[in-house]
């Protein structure tokens, strides 16, 4: 599963370690600054080696991982998890963030608004009072 090479492109390693679903998504994340190497922004073609420390932002969470092995092939998740070790501080911060996210109020909205909901929203935006209409005419 591992390559004998001492260096590997960061986007290829992120894909093989299953942080991103595709290599192009991994490359976009590196280019947009969501992945840093030893605290510095990098480009997608940057080579990484064993012992390097990457900080990877995935949504609201931040993973700080040390590279233990290099692999250019994407394998099963248990094998991919052996490619890196997440720091204890990173795990603790992610646990705190997860707890804070659970405490946030959840939206009661589910999906797209219906046609009726859109009309009510439009009336509110225009400053009109919402009204009830019957099938026989406009009764207020």
Task: Find the CATH number of the domain harbouring 52.
Answer: 3.10.290.10
Q: Look at residue 17 and tell me whether its pLDDT is greater than 60.
A: yes
pLDDT band per the 50, 70, 90 thresholds, residue 124: confident
Residue 140 lies in a domain: no
Residue 83 lies in a domain: yes
pLDDT band per the 50, 70, 90 thresholds, residue 133: low
- Exposure of 18 by Cβ count < 10 A (0-12 exposed, 13-18 middle, 19+ buried)? middle
Domain count, the chain: 1
Residue 40 lies in a domain: yes
Range of the domain at 14: 8-88
Residue 122 lies in a domain: no
The answer to whether 8 touches 47, Cβ cutoff 8 Å, is yes
pLDDT of residue 108: 73
pTM of the shown model: 0.69
Q: How far is CA 72 from CA 6, 45, 78, 137, in A?
A: 11, 13, 16, 68
Residue 44 lies in a domain: yes
* The token pair that represents 47 in the structure block: 């080579």
pLDDT of residue 132: 60
Residue 98 lies in a domain: no
Which carries the bigger pLDDT value, residue 76 or residue 6?
Answer: 76
Residue 124 lies in a domain: no
Residue 112 lies in a domain: no
Q: How far apart are CA 7 and CA 14, in angstroms?
A: 13
């Amino acid at each position: 599963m591992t390559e004998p090479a001492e260096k590997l492109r960061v986007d290829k390693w992120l894909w093989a370690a299953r942080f991103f679903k595709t290599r192009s998504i991994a490359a976009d994340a590196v280019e947009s600054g969501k992945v840093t190497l030893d605290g510095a922004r990098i480009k997608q073609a940057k080579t990484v080696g064993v012992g390097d420390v990457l900080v990877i932002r995935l949504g609201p969470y931040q993973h700080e991982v040390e590279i233990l092995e290099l692999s250019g092939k994407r394998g099963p998740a248990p094998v991919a998890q052996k490619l890196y070790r997440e720091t204890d501080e990173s795990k603790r911060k992610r646990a705190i963030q997860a707890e804070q996210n659970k405490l946030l109020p959840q939206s009661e909205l589910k999906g797209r608004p219906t046609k009726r909901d859109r009309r009510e929203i439009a009336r509110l935006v225009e400053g009109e009072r919402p009204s009830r209409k019957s099938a026989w005419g406009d009764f207020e």
